[in-house]
């Protein structure tokens, strides 16, 4: 690497860990970044965890991190809402504690969509609707979000991943939940996660770094690398995750390496 960076936007699953198991060399890689004066930012489409929960997971993998270094699609979703509606507005959502915390941090009245609220009067006052990943979500929970999204003409989707890879195949992802809401409500979501460039822009603004001084590192061509392409940010693809030979040859990382263990070694000498 001949280029110097100030900020590294680092994907988590498939890049630093895989199935909860740390990828060899990942803790040392993050240390090399810090030693080189490059700020690591743990840049994730996962909207279910709070920053503190992400830090806990990283530390279990022997990777030192601070909550301020975590940037999630839930935070980006709350930021988008902040630009559209007033603080204090009622926002209904499906998702985990990470999304709830992000919405409350922007001072929204965050209310989990659930069947018992389907006929509540406050639904007519809701000014926002958000779909985040939630493995406990029910048909009637989504019906609540659909009702608000249809009235508003829009909703926010924390990330568009239609599948979550697992050892023996895949599980439906957040994009699949969003597709149901979009179809039923007749609306188009505002997407905030990778590969949308606005997620990268949110991170660059938050940390005060120009795009030419940032690098995005990840294992997925269709999320991490495409986000870098869309945002015109230097990108490095690692081969430790979901990208397979024969994947889309129209998405071009600036570099391809075996793993994060191969990155930024020269600068640390």
Report, as residue numbers or ranges, the catalytic residues: 11, 13
Radius of gyration of the chain (CA): 19
DSSP per residue, the chain? -----SEEEE--BTTTEETTEEPTTHHHHHHHHHHTTPEEEEEES--SS-HHHHHHHHHHTT----GGGEEEHHHHHHHHHHHHS-TT-EEEEE--HHHHHHHHHTT-EEEE--GGGTT-GGGGG--EEEE---TT--HHHHHHHHHHHHHHTEEEES----EEEETTEEEE-HHHHHHHHHHHHT-EEEE-STT-HHHHHHHHHHHT--GGGEEEEES-IIIIIHHHHHHT-EEEEESSSS--TTS-TT---SEEES-GGGSSTTTT-
Distance CA 36, CA 243 (A): 28
- The residues, ordered by sequence, that sit 6+ positions from 59 with a Cβ below 8 Å of its Cβ are 65
Contact (CB, 8 A) for 219 and 243: yes
Nearest to 259 by CA among 53, 66, 59, 11: 11
């Amino acid at each position: 690497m001949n280029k110097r960076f100030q900020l590294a936007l680092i994907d988590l699953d498939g890049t630093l860990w895989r199935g909860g198991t740390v990828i060899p060399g990942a803790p040392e890689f993050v240390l090399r970044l810090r030693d080189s004066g490059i700020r690591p930012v743990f840049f994730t489409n996962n909207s279910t965890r709070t920053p503190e929960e992400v830090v806990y997971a990283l530390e279990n993998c022997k990777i030192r991190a601070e909550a301020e270094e975590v940037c999630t699609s839930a935070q980006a979703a709350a930021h988008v809402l902040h630009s559209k509606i007033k603080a204090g507005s009622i926002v209904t959502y499906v998702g985990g504690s990470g999304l709830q915390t992000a919405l409350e941090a922007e001072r929204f009245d965050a209310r989990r969509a659930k069947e018992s609220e389907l006929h509540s009067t406050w639904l007519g006052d809701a000014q926002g609707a958000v779909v985040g990943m939630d493995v406990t979500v029910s048909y009637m929970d989504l019906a609540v979000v659909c009702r608000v999204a249809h009235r508003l003409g829009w909703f926010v989707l924390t990330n568009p991943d239609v599948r979550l890879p697992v050892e023996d195949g895949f599980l439906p992802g957040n994009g699949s939940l969003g597709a149901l809401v979009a179809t039923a409500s007749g609306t188009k979501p505002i997407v905030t996660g990778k590969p949308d460039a606005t997620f990268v822009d949110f991170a660059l603004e938050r940390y005060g770094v120009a795009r030419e001084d940032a690098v995005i590192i990840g294992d997925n061509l269709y999320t991490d690398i495409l986000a870098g392409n869309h945002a015109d940010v230097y990108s490095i693809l690692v081969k430790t995750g979901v990208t397979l030979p024969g994947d889309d040859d129209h998405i071009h990382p600036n570099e391809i390496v075996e793993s994060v263990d191969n990155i930024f070694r020269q600068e640390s000498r």
